[in-house]
Chain A
């Protein structure tokens, strides 16, 4: 530790810190453009200049100057102020000052800091340098005349995203930031470039000229487009969600957000179900709530409970699943399932289906085996965390499944269950895992959602047990879920009850009434022709197309809901805007329908529902915080089947469209087109 005095405040900071960090520790803000705490230090913007006593009498860039014990730093002397003003003047020489037409206006570091250090008039009378715009693909807009060459984007692409496609080329005044060759960025994290760019050079293409930051209502929420549960801020104006930005959550997403989660918002306005629909003589017709309820009630009357079933979709909140489960119980049915993908496997213990190491825990691991998962597409933020760990070195990674670019080197040791058998025999990578102190395994859905999924889950667990991943101090067994609702649904036991039917039995006429709570991710043609389908959800997607009655529900930005991410972390999303038209929050729809049936569910408010849910399922009572835990009991999950031989496939056909919201999003559709050639090459 080094003792550093900044503007008279003495702080102790770890050796190797820089002066800027010491100043932050002392609570003093230093202006900066190029420095970013999660990126390597470049020291090229020169805005963070400070004066250091007993050092040569010149300003030092605090971000790149290491602290020493007893150092005395001044951040507000005449020299510092003059130096920063000089730097600002140089930065503004070639900056277009087009703030009125710049999307960054109002949330721009350069604009803000020019208030503190900029002159009131320009002394520059010559022609300004201009740059042609760069096409970075459908997500990021590059207005390069505004660029101040801080190289944050270059470092982000190379370090965090792991796609070293951006660079600073040319020299001196002619330095350009770009990709040199014209191409869309091949990263699932490219939207973060918009956040880290301190000026308006990289802005959001879909959000271009849409709104000003001060017009927006900002609602803290949680993302549901993958199972990571990233912290987000939903920015809305009136009834519209205009953009989604990440919030800092060190345990989950740090400060990044995946592109699908950020840019699918335009899907929230399209293909929406905003009124009830009832199928009459083969055609869906608009209906009122009482008409829709009457149609369902008529169908239900006299029906035995065992002929009624419900399926929870991938974006469902825990409250509505709890309410639906209660509704079906009141109808005498235990036919429930949340595994539209038929994912097999024992879910009797929570650590059989969650990401037990935790996302932050990845940074402690020292060897990784990925089985049947493509974290880059299934959970880009978890992939970024793996890459972060890999960058530190000493982190061998092996993959059982298709060979692909994960942004870090990974040895492909087989493509299916055969490789698992070999590993269980102690071959190859098993030795590496055994030698590691904190090895971990990630099992993906393409390994579990198959007929022999239960056996693969058990095999992976056994491998984990054999290679020392399961100790009382360390839990290295991880299931990578891809649906935001899945862990919550499993926690709630949204599964076939005693004597109940699962997904497979309900299809093909196994039930007479099937209630789909936003369930769109299965082949609806497999539903029996005579089955009466109630679709409750937000988007007119596959499920709604098959429905006999449609009940319009709320999307994740339109309701207060609880979600459990793949780690088992319970988090709450918040209502940012109201659902469109006649649509209502899903638990309210279910409560209202139960009243219509004169079997009212025992809660009238969301708080009452949550109180009951938490009493019945205590995991929901502990929100946001997830204590780390080991694995004191290494009993393997049960498996009644044998492992097959079929190789593990790709879980998502495309990263960009995986749920009703992203399928409704024109931006995501553009991404699919823009990245199609790349995907086609990869498939070859």
Chain B
């Protein structure tokens, strides 16, 4: 059973989403509308984030997607529950997703997680701060290993982090600032130091 804390009873796509739905459905051939399950679930989650703050998928939203696509609701639950990017319970305003896959872990993802815990008081994965600001989660490879370690906050990547940079980032978020995403060291995909395989 999915946890459903204060789940809304009803979900309806708003006019802004409807415009997007038209464009999404147009991508798939007639009779293959079920292919749009994933983009529509994402859209529903974003609509909830846009209108209510915490981007997540209550069952009502999954049912709405099923109804729209003419799928049995169970098939939509299967898709939604498979993808970790679709949140089955409410998350904070900032969803902190620490990459803990090997390259990030080697480059210090434990430190990042520790810094977040220190700064927010969160303990386990999946927890949300009482003020609803932060949810801490770990995720598998975000595909940005070159600038490891990486922290994804909602849709933005923050790269080349260390404990200090992470704390600064969280402070900025708490102040309501919008810190620039990307590498905190200003790097693009380039080596940390002039390399020579034999050096060091």
Q: Does B131 contact A (CB under 8 A)?
A: no
Complex CA gap A17/B21 in Å reads 40
Q: What residues of A have a CB within 8 angstroms of the CB of B2 in the complex?
A: 180
Q: Is B82's CB under 8 angstroms from A170's CB? A: yes
Interface residues of B in 31-83 (CB under 8 A from A): 59, 72-75, 77-78, 81-82
Q: Is B74's CB under 8 angstroms from A167's CB? A: yes
Instruction: Looking at the assembled complex, report how far the CB atom of A166 sits from the nearest CB atom of chain B, in whole angstroms.
Output: 7
Interface string of A141-168 (1 = CB under 8 A from B): 0000000000000000010000011111
Instruction: Looking at the assembled complex, report how far the CB atom of B116 sits from the nearest CB atom of chain A, in whole angstroms.
Output: 23
Instruction: Looking at the assembled complex, report how far the CB atom of B8 sits from the nearest CB atom of chain A, in whole angstroms.
Output: 15
Q: Does A182 contact B (CB under 8 A)?
A: yes
Instruction: Looking at the assembled complex, report how far the CB atom of B101 sits from the nearest CB atom of chain A, in whole angstroms.
Output: 14
Interface bin, chain A:
10 to 19
Smallest CB-CB separation from A164: which chain B residue?
B72
Q: Is B74's CB under 8 angstroms from A166's CB? A: yes
Q: Is B72's CB under 8 angstroms from A180's CB? A: no
Q: Is B59's CB under 8 angstroms from A167's CB? A: no
Q: What residues of B have a CB within 8 angstroms of the CB of A169 in the complex?
A: 77-78, 81-82
Q: Is B81's CB under 8 angstroms from A165's CB? A: no
Given the known A-B contacts A169-B81, A171-B81, A171-B82, are A180 and B75 also in contact in the complex, defined by CB atoms under 8 Å?
Answer: no
Complex CA gap A167/B74 in Å reads 6
Q: Is B81's CB under 8 angstroms from A164's CB? A: no
Interface residues of B in 59-114 (CB under 8 A from A): 59, 72-75, 77-78, 81-82, 84
Looking at A164, A165, A167, A182, which has the most chain B CB atoms within 10 Å of its CB? A167
Complex CA gap A190/B81 in Å reads 25
Given the known A-B contacts A180-B1, A181-B59, are A170 and B81 also in contact in the complex, defined by CB atoms under 8 Å?
Answer: yes
Complex CA gap A158/B77 in Å reads 14
Instruction: Looking at the assembled complex, report how far the CB atom of A145 sits from the nearest CB atom of chain B, in whole angstroms.
Output: 15
Q: How many A-B residue pairs have CB under 8 A?
A: 32
Q: What residues of A have a CB within 8 angstroms of the CB of B77 in the complex?
A: 167, 169, 180
Complex CA gap A182/B75 in Å reads 16
Q: Does A574 contact B (CB under 8 A)?
A: no
Instruction: Looking at the assembled complex, report how far the CB atom of B67 sits from the nearest CB atom of chain A, in whole angstroms.
Output: 14
Complex CA gap A169/B77 in Å reads 7
Q: Is B75's CB under 8 angstroms from A164's CB? A: yes
Q: Is A158's CB under 8 angstroms from B81's CB? A: no
Q: Does A179 contact B (CB under 8 A)?
A: yes
Q: Is B1's CB under 8 angstroms from A182's CB? A: yes
Given the known A-B contacts A180-B1, A182-B1, are A168 and B59 also in contact in the complex, defined by CB atoms under 8 Å?
Answer: no
Smallest CB-CB separation from B72: which chain A residue?
A164
Smallest CB-CB separation from A174: which chain B residue?
B81
Interface residues of A in 160-197 (CB under 8 A from B): 164-171, 179-182
Complex CA gap A165/B2 in Å reads 16
Q: Is A165's CB under 8 angstroms from B72's CB? A: yes
Smallest CB-CB separation from B74: which chain A residue?
A167
Q: What residues of A have a CB within 8 angstroms of the CB of B74 in the complex?
A: 164-167, 179-180
Complex CA gap A264/B72 in Å reads 30
Q: What residues of A have a CB within 8 angstroms of the CB of B84 in the complex?
A: 171
Q: Is B75's CB under 8 angstroms from A167's CB? A: yes
Smallest CB-CB separation from B79: which chain A residue?
A169
Complex CA gap A168/B78 in Å reads 6
Smallest CB-CB separation from B82: which chain A residue?
A171
Smallest CB-CB separation from A168: which chain B residue?
B78
Q: What residues of B have a CB within 8 angstroms of the CB of A170 in the complex?
A: 81-82
Complex CA gap A181/B7 in Å reads 14
Q: What residues of B have a CB within 8 angstroms of the CB of A165 in the complex?
A: 72, 74
Smallest CB-CB separation from A180: which chain B residue?
B77
Instruction: Looking at the assembled complex, report how far the CB atom of A179 sits from the nearest CB atom of chain B, in whole angstroms.
Output: 7
Q: What residues of B have a CB within 8 angstroms of the CB of A166 in the complex?
A: 74
Complex CA gap A182/B2 in Å reads 10
Smallest CB-CB separation from A157: which chain B residue?
B74
Smallest CB-CB separation from B80: which chain A residue?
A169
Instruction: Looking at the assembled complex, report how far the CB atom of B11 sits from the nearest CB atom of chain A, in whole angstroms.
Output: 15
Instruction: Looking at the assembled complex, report how far the CB atom of B179 sits from the nearest CB atom of chain A, in whole angstroms.
Output: 32
Complex CA gap A165/B72 in Å reads 8
Q: Is B72's CB under 8 angstroms from A158's CB? A: yes
Q: What residues of A have a CB within 8 angstroms of the CB of B72 in the complex?
A: 158, 164-165
Q: What residues of A have a CB within 8 angstroms of the CB of B59 in the complex?
A: 181
Instruction: Looking at the assembled complex, report how far the CB atom of A78 sits from the nearest CB atom of chain B, in whole angstroms.
Output: 34
Instruction: Looking at the assembled complex, report how far the CB atom of A587 sits from the nearest CB atom of chain B, in whole angstroms.
Output: 50
Looking at B1, B2, B73, B75, which has the most chain A CB atoms within 10 Å of its CB? B1
Q: What residues of A have a CB within 8 angstroms of the CB of B73 in the complex?
A: 180-181
Instruction: Looking at the assembled complex, report how far the CB atom of B3 sits from the nearest CB atom of chain A, in whole angstroms.
Output: 12
Smallest CB-CB separation from A132: which chain B residue?
B1
Smallest CB-CB separation from A169: which chain B residue?
B81
Interface string of B1-21 (1 = CB under 8 A from A): 110000000000000000000
Smallest CB-CB separation from B71: which chain A residue?
A164
Complex CA gap A77/B84 in Å reads 41
Q: What residues of A have a CB within 8 angstroms of the CB of B75 in the complex?
A: 164, 167
Interface string of B140-167 (1 = CB under 8 A from A): 0000000000000000000000000000
Given the known A-B contacts A158-B72, A181-B59, are A167 and B78 also in contact in the complex, defined by CB atoms under 8 Å?
Answer: yes
Smallest CB-CB separation from B2: which chain A residue?
A180
Smallest CB-CB separation from B77: which chain A residue?
A180
Smallest CB-CB separation from A170: which chain B residue?
B81
Smallest CB-CB separation from A171: which chain B residue?
B82
Q: What residues of B have a CB within 8 angstroms of the CB of A180 in the complex?
A: 1-2, 73-74, 77, 81
Instruction: Looking at the assembled complex, report how far the CB atom of A4 sits from the nearest CB atom of chain B, in whole angstroms.
Output: 34
Instruction: Looking at the assembled complex, report how far the CB atom of A124 sits from the nearest CB atom of chain B, in whole angstroms.
Output: 24
Looking at A164, A166, A179, A181, which has the most chain B CB atoms within 10 Å of its CB? A181
Instruction: Looking at the assembled complex, report how far the CB atom of A485 sits from the nearest CB atom of chain B, in whole angstroms.
Output: 38
Q: What residues of B have a CB within 8 angstroms of the CB of A182 in the complex?
A: 1
Complex CA gap A165/B74 in Å reads 6
Complex CA gap A589/B148 in Å reads 88
Instruction: Looking at the assembled complex, report how far the CB atom of A154 sits from the nearest CB atom of chain B, in whole angstroms.
Output: 8
Interface residues of A in 487-504 (CB under 8 A from B): none
15 pairs from A and B in contact (CB 8 Å cutoff): A158-B72, A164-B72, A166-B74, A167-B74, A167-B75, A167-B78, A169-B78, A170-B82, A171-B81, A171-B82, A179-B74, A180-B1, A180-B2, A181-B1, A181-B73
6 A-B pairs with least C-beta separation:
A164-B72, A169-B81, A167-B74, A180-B77, A167-B78, A171-B82
* A164-B72, A165-B74 known, 13 other contacts, Cβ within 8 Å: A158-B72, A166-B74, A167-B77, A167-B78, A169-B77, A169-B78, A169-B81, A170-B81, A179-B74, A180-B1, A180-B2, A180-B74, A181-B1
